[in-house]
Amino acid sequence: MKLALTLTALLLTSAVHADDVMKKDGVLVNSAGMTVYTFDKDTAGSGKSACNGPCIENWPAVAPSANVTAPYSVITRDDGSKQLAYQGKPLYLFKKDLKPGDRNGDNFKDVWHVVKD
């Protein structure tokens, strides 16, 4: 139980809420200015994330707020947690982005991309 609470706390502290996501310099970022990404292996509108296990450790899911409106939506991850999606695509941060404005994950392995639209 304690481990589950610790993991939940870690996920919540690394997550961003929908109303904190905004466009800056042509891409989506969270309120701290950290770049938000999508994953090509996710299917828009499927309600699922293809990033699990070690993947989610490197690409933390963006958590939704209580009031999400279009073009945002909420998916339920395999572990039961909620994740924010934009135009049906789940949203992520990249743990190797160390400061606001970093885009180290853009085109990573040709499957991770900043959200431009």
pLDDT band at 90 (very low <50, low <70, confident <90, very high): very high
The pLDDT assigned to 47 comes to 95
The C-alpha atoms of residue 39 and residue 89 are separated, in whole angstroms, by: 8
Is 83 in contact with 74 (CB distance < 8 Å)? yes
Residue type, 26: G
3-state secondary structure of 4: helix
Which comes out higher in pLDDT, residue 90 or 10?
90
- Among 103, 81, 83, 110, which residue's Cα sits nearest to residue 36? 103
The C-alpha atoms of residue 33 and residue 91 are separated, in whole angstroms, by: 15
Question: Each residue of 41-66: pLDDT tens digit?
Answer: 999 999 999 999 999 999 999 988 78
Which comes out higher in pLDDT, residue 8 or 54?
54
**What predicted TM-score, i.e. pTM, was given to this entire model?**
0.82
Portion of the chain with pLDDT greater than 70, in percent: 83
